[in-house]
Structure 1
Amino acid sequence: MSEQQTTATSLADLKDLVAGTPAESTSNTVGSTGPIYVRKVDAQGRSYATGRRKDAVARVWISRGTGVITINDRAASVYFARPVLRMLITQPFLVADRYQQLDVRCTVKGGGLSGQAGAVRHGISRALVSFEPELRGILKKAGFMTRDPRTVERKKYGKMKARRSFQFSKR
């Protein structure tokens, strides 16, 4: 009665040995592909996504159209009067080469105008990926898919603000 001895080089190999299956069949290979992203569109032909930045939250719907951007039932040029903020929300379309091909309707709450513009840009990027999954690589490389984690630091007790102390008096 001869038993074949095998050694496990990693935890995955050990798991396979315990299960009784060969390690080659279940382990991840170098040629395996990543997750496959599927187009998500509702009955009206719209894609939905949520974007966040600072304290602002934007709910964004994208559909085929002529490039009209509506924010809280107002035109983007009215809602974001500063040209820098308008440029910020059109960046995903310019990078993806979809400028004036898609209509955007969004509602945004919280934060200031700068945070709201960042939230709309994040939501547009995520909605574009839901609408056309092949754009994910382009938008991710441009940095539009990552939520900016910077927020305002909370106020601490014994301080005037988050870090600012009261004025020190020697006498």
Structure 2
Amino acid sequence: MSAEEKARAEAEAEERARLDAELTSDGAEDAPVAPKPAKLSSDARYQATGKRKSSVARVLLTPGKGKIEVNERTLEEYFPRPYLQTIAKQALVQAGYEGNVDVSVRVHGGGISGQASAVRHGIARALTEVNPDLRTELKRRGMLTRDARVKERRKAGLKKARKRPQFSKR
């Protein structure tokens, strides 16, 4: 390997490391959207519906201390994996309402991953009712967009949605 090739490989490795560090340590996406959350009146109730795949989540936001209840269980009980808990709470955390509102969710259909995303979608929609100024930032971060990807149906003559039976020439 010549000196020029070594230098190029080294520069590529440095650039890759810099990009990786930028992507992983960029706190802009996790930073709260609003500098301080809007005050809620004590009798305020905000409802919204979130969907993902075949999961539907009906969300109710009320002023409180940050308690999140999913199907009458705590968030940690219903979504035991920390990754799913993070997804479900993502809209609250990024909007800065994490400890200011109680969230009650009724979710049904689909699997737990789809349900967690449906909860996030519903919470984001409810937060836009609380504070309409959050809408542009939550939309930019993709939390208000309904993810339309669903399982493709199986077609007649095929084994699965697109998989064909094995072809034999002879």
TM-score by shorter chain over 0.5: yes
Q: Which residue of 2 aligns with 1:31?
A: none
Counterpart Cα distance in 1 of 2:68 and 2:167: 52
Structure 1 length normalisation: TM-score?
A: 0.72
Q: Which residue of 1 aligns with 2:149?
A: 150
Counterpart Cα distance in 2 of 1:44 and 1:150: 37
Counterpart Cα distance in 1 of 2:81 and 2:52: 18
Alpha carbons 1:95, 1:138 under 8 Å: kept: no
Partner AA of 1:78 in structure 2: E
Q: Which residue of 2 aligns with 1:87?
A: 86
Q: Give structure 1 stretches of 5+ with no counterpart.
A: 1-40
Counterpart Cα distance in 1 of 2:88 and 2:50: 12
1:88 is paired with a residue whose SS is: helix
When structure 1 is superposed on structure 2, of 47-56 and 87-96 the one drifting more is 87-96
1:14-163 equivalences in 2 (<5 Å): 44-163=43-162
Counterpart Cα distance in 1 of 2:144 and 2:65: 24
Counterpart Cα distance in 1 of 2:43 and 2:71: 20
Task: Give the fraction of aligned pairs with identical amino acids, expressed as a percent.
Answer: 48
Instruction: Report the Cα offset of residue 44 of structure 1.
Output: 4.4
Counterpart Cα distance in 2 of 1:100 and 1:86: 15
Instruction: Report the Cα offset of residue 170 of structure 1.
Output: 3.1
2:83 is paired with a residue whose SS is: helix
2:105 is paired with a residue whose SS is: strand
Instruction: Report the Cα offset of residue 169 of structure 1.
Output: 2.8
What does the per-residue CA deviation read over 1:82-122, in whole Å, with 9 as the maximum and x for residues that have no partner? 11100001111121111111110011111111100010000
1:94 is paired with a residue whose SS is: helix
Counterpart Cα distance in 2 of 1:108 and 1:101: 22
Counterpart Cα distance in 2 of 1:161 and 1:103: 43
What does the per-residue CA deviation read over 1:48-107, in whole Å, with 9 as the maximum and x for residues that have no partner? 000000111110000111111111111110100111100001111121111111110011
Looking at secondary structure, tell me which structure has more helix per residue.
2
CA RMSD of aligned residues (A): 1.6
Counterpart Cα distance in 2 of 1:65 and 1:141: 27
Paired positions, count = 130
